[in-house]
Structure 1
Amino acid sequence: MTQTDFTHDASATSWVEGAVGHPDFPVQNLPLGVFSVGDSPPRGGIAIGDYILDLPAVAMLMEDPAEDAALTANAPVLNALFAGGRATITALRQAVFGLLTDESNRAKVEPHLHRAADCKLHLPFFIHDYTDFYTGIHHAMNIGSLFRPDNPLLPNYKYVPIGYHGRSSSIRASGVDVKRPTGQTKPAEDGGMPGFGPSTRLDYELEMAIWVGQGNELGEPISIGDAEQHIAGISILNDWSARDLQAWEYQPLGPFLAKNFHSSVSPWVVTMDALVPFRTAQMPRPEGDPAPLPYLLDEGDQAHGAFGITMEVLITTPKMREAGDAPHRLSRGPMTAMYWTAAQLLAHHTVGGCNLQPGDLLGTGTLTSGEEGGEGSLIELTEGGKKNITLPNGETRKFLENGDEVIMTAYAEKDGFARIGLGECRATIKG
């Protein structure tokens, strides 16, 4: 794992207004994304406080390889930038850090800062492929208990990272409305005709997105020891789910229409360099659980392969917004709820020869903490729709209704380091 350097110094300050102590984007974070202003073309930028730094515009203020990296970011997606590898991103981060902390650079750099509120944010990558995993063991147990009370967790779960290939074409950046999906639902009685219509059990899933940086050649697996070098960074992911469609269609081949209608992702890629101080040991396996097979086991990955990130999900309804009420937090939990590390996901995904490409998206699956208040979905909070959630204004919910907005946030904090955040992943349900 890369060591901390001067860019992680908690005492470092930026001359950018509002950046010092910013809850998400202080100078110690510097996440990458794609933005546009007015009619200008989308290009790469870096979040700093409440502003976005135009990377191509300041490229000439840096030296190679950072200058070349900033010029590569002059594109509507960041695939080519991250294909250059971890060292390139590190050089860019260090150079931008220097520009934003040295007051002597202010006159040259400040004209290329844009207020984030005036910008449009786009998907950071062209997503060739999307794989959603099932790494949240507490979520897996909760869902399994609803459908298989006597056998909630299938025996392969503790040996193999379970996942399925999702639909990349319907992934959208935070802020894009979600249209309620339509499909078939389970017959009311055995042998009956299935229903058909808009989903009435629409749910969110609190996940994290793991972005692939450098890919691998077809037939050439990524080893567990090298896997981290192939990760670009992480974002927040909401993999919306239509639970009533899912209950009817998921056997024998798994998710289909219940999952392919929309997935929302936060627009900022928090890099692996920014996350160095917040890496932590992988969650110990319960006594009696098998050790990972050798191709999935690395001592260093077990020691620091997890992310010390706190995740939250909030809801606001039309009535709440009309009354000026603040969003209500539904749950909070740690990213360390993953049974498998990010490196293990990449190693397993490629062990058979599958080639990952820059910008591929790996979802962690729903991350539930295992404690009350840490449920990562409504189907868990309502025990499969058996009980209501009561909001502060007296409204109740079992699943999402039209006009409801779901807001997901995430942040990392640790003594001795500046807190950094991942921004927001939010969307409103439309009929």
Structure 2
Amino acid sequence: MTTVSWVEVSEEGGFGVENLPYGVFSRPGELPRVGVAIGEHVLDLAGLSAAGLIDDRRCFASGSLNAFMVAGPASWRANRARLVELLTDEAHRPRVEPHLIPVADVKLLRPFEVADYADFYSSVHHATNVGRIFRPNSDSLTPNWKRLPVAYHGRAGTVYPSGTPIIRPAGQRRTPGEAEPVFGPSLRLDFEAEVGFVAGVPSPAGRGVPTSAFRDHVFGFVLVNDWSARDLQSWESQPLGPFLSKSFATSISPWVVPVAALEPARVTPPVQDPAPLPYLRCAEPWGLDLHLEVLINGQVASRPPFASMYWTSPQQLAHATVNGAPLRTGDLFASGTVSGPERDQRGCLLELSWNGREPLELDDGTKRTFLEDGDTVTIRAKAPGASGSLISLGEVTGTVHPTPA
């Protein structure tokens, strides 16, 4: 049976007390502060703290979640339990209700300061499709792909909050058959539907974080759109991988869903063959039954299933730190494009249009090979929660703007 809050909550909305994702918001003339989503409202944690209803951690009045994230699992659990108590016991309603603000009346900001950003390549379906597109006469997967979570380092300074305009990047691109590259706006701008997690508790240099310690360090999950300029990417990526084709913009959702809220969504991931090396092995299943949906201008383009991801989040964290790289509060790790085995489950236009050769037709009859100026891309996701509830990860959105003259 679902836990009942005295706050009006839609069962389909996914923002009940089983979720309670954290974010940062502001109102005109006021400083940003931390809140949690409940129904169609934001609960002002700075206000609750000032009223003595939750512990004064001296961090909820800040414009970032970092100070709370570094406090660690014991503080996260205690605050979550207290919020559930305040939102389900009618006795607390008179003192708590004044701190509920309609979400329509606030501006949702980037929820945390990003320390570092790394993006993985963990969907076997995505990696296989990319291999078939670009290496049709050889193995679709490179020899290392099933032995380690492949990734690249992105740029923390261009991780933007949902709603930030996406300026079409310019750079070098070479048309197939041409000897020399030209400079200009990307003609093959793409989205990538991804899920990310953010670290709260740091780790010391020289010591990796084992898969078993995932909950000790990771605060929660967000949705990610890792915008990609495919023509820039194909020219610049040899031999060191993407650079300008990725570093211009990455969008994240405003709500950070706590790891605890997604425990009921854990499922057995795909079988890994060959068996991973010992540092990558997990003693418990860490696939996540998240159902993503991608919309272009309000039309559904795909529905990628996150449960099909080959490499799991604890494995990604273990690999990212096994060389002794220290974990920092605000480190963001993205999953890589989420794709399933069916065409309507592909998580980017590179796959959906097969590199432009098979245009994607949307329900309204419009077609896309890659994104056009004015296109708005929205990624949203939901997951099963405790006691039959629904957990929403919210949405991340961005609109493409032309390259400045």
Could you say whether these structures have the same fold, taking a TM-score greater than 0.5 normalized by the shorter chain as the test?
yes
Q: How far off its partner does 1:61 sit? A: 5.8
Partner residue, 2:102: 115
Partner residue, 1:367: 338
* 2:151 pairs with 1:163: yes
- Among 14, 18, 22, which residue is 2:5 paired with? 14
User: 2:119 corresponds to which letter in structure 1?
Assistant: D
Separation in 2 of the partners of 1:389 and 1:275?
32
Partner residue, 1:7: none
Separation in 1 of the partners of 2:248 and 2:300?
25
Partner residue, 1:154: 142
Q: How far off its partner does 1:189 sit? A: 2.4
Secondary structure of the corresponding residue to residue 68 of structure 2:
helix
Closer/same/farther in 2, CA of residues 97 and 22 from structure 1, 3 Å limit: farther
- Among 163, 185, 190, which residue is 2:173 paired with? 185
Gaps of 5+ in 2: none
Partner residue, 1:307: 288
Please tell me whether the aligned partners of residues 14 and 20 of structure 1 are also in contact (alpha carbons under 8 angstroms): no
Separation in 2 of the partners of 1:188 and 1:157?
27
Q: Percent identity?
A: 43
Separation in 2 of the partners of 1:315 and 1:40?
34
* 2:381 pairs with 1:410: yes
Deviation digits for residues 259-315 of structure 1 (CA, Å, limit 9, x no counterpart):
011111001000011111111122223xxx210101111322xxx211111111011
Separation in 1 of the partners of 2:236 and 2:225?
21
Q: How far off its partner does 1:401 sit? A: 0.5
User: 2:283 corresponds to which letter in structure 1?
Assistant: E
Q: How far off its partner does 1:172 sit? A: 0.6
- Between 1:351-360 and 1:71-80, the stretch displaced more is 71-80
Separation in 1 of the partners of 2:319 and 2:104?
40
Partner residue, 2:278: 294
Gaps of 5+ in 1: 1-9, 317-326
Please tell me whether the aligned partners of residues 59 and 68 of structure 1 are also in contact (alpha carbons under 8 angstroms): yes
Q: How far off its partner does 1:227 sit? A: 2.4
User: 1:106 corresponds to which letter in structure 2?
Assistant: R
Aligned residue runs from structure 1 range 96-115, under 5 A: 96-115=83-102
TM-score w.r.t. length of structure 1: 0.90
Please tell me whether the aligned partners of residues 188 and 194 of structure 1 are also in contact (alpha carbons under 8 angstroms): no
Q: How far off its partner does 1:415 sit? A: 8.6
Deviation digits for residues 321-377 of structure 1 (CA, Å, limit 9, x no counterpart):
xxxxxx211111221122111111111111111011111100100010112310000
Closer/same/farther in 2, CA of residues 20 and 382 from structure 1, 3 Å limit: closer
Separation in 2 of the partners of 1:413 and 1:141?
28
* 2:367 pairs with 1:396: yes
Q: How far off its partner does 1:414 sit? A: 6.0
Q: How far off its partner does 1:188 sit? A: 4.2
Deviation digits for residues 240-261 of structure 1 (CA, Å, limit 9, x no counterpart):
0011111111111000111011
Please tell me whether the aligned partners of residues 60 and 67 of structure 1 are also in contact (alpha carbons under 8 angstroms): no
Aligned-residue CA RMSD (Å): 1.5
Partner residue, 1:3: none
Partner residue, 2:230: 243
Partner residue, 1:35: 25
Separation in 1 of the partners of 2:398 and 2:45?
28
Q: How many residues align?
A: 401
Partner residue, 1:6: none
- Among 81, 86, 89, which residue is 1:94 paired with? 81
Secondary structure of the corresponding residue to residue 352 of structure 1:
coil
Partner residue, 1:4: none
Separation in 2 of the partners of 1:182 and 1:404?
17
Deviation digits for residues 157-195 of structure 1 (CA, Å, limit 9, x no counterpart):
1111111110111111111110001011114425x2212
Deviation digits for residues 4-63 of structure 1 (CA, Å, limit 9, x no counterpart):
xxxxxx43211123x142522112110001111112111110000110001021125667
Please tell me whether the aligned partners of residues 302 and 344 of structure 2 are also in contact (alpha carbons under 8 angstroms): yes
Separation in 1 of the partners of 2:378 and 2:233?
23
User: 1:366 corresponds to which letter in structure 2?
Assistant: T
Separation in 2 of the partners of 1:12 and 1:393?
40
Separation in 2 of the partners of 1:188 and 1:22?
48
User: 2:44 corresponds to which letter in structure 1?
Assistant: D
User: 1:314 corresponds to which letter in structure 2?
Assistant: L
Separation in 1 of the partners of 2:12 and 2:102?
14
TM-score w.r.t. length of structure 2: 0.96
Q: How far off its partner does 1:120 sit? A: 0.8
Secondary structure of the corresponding residue to residue 246 of structure 2:
coil
User: 1:247 corresponds to which letter in structure 2?
Assistant: S
- Between 1:359-368 and 1:23-32, the stretch displaced more is 23-32
Moved over 6 A (4+): none
* 2:396 pairs with 1:425: yes
Partner residue, 1:323: none
Please tell me whether the aligned partners of residues 289 and 306 of structure 2 are also in contact (alpha carbons under 8 angstroms): yes
Separation in 1 of the partners of 2:11 and 2:149?
38
Secondary structure of the corresponding residue to residue 139 of structure 1:
helix
Separation in 1 of the partners of 2:114 and 2:75?
21
Aligned residue runs from structure 1 range 23-422, under 5 A: 23-59=13-49, 67-69=55-57, 71-149=58-136, 150-189=138-177, 192-285=179-272, 289-300=273-284, 304-316=285-297, 327-413=298-384, 416-422=387-393
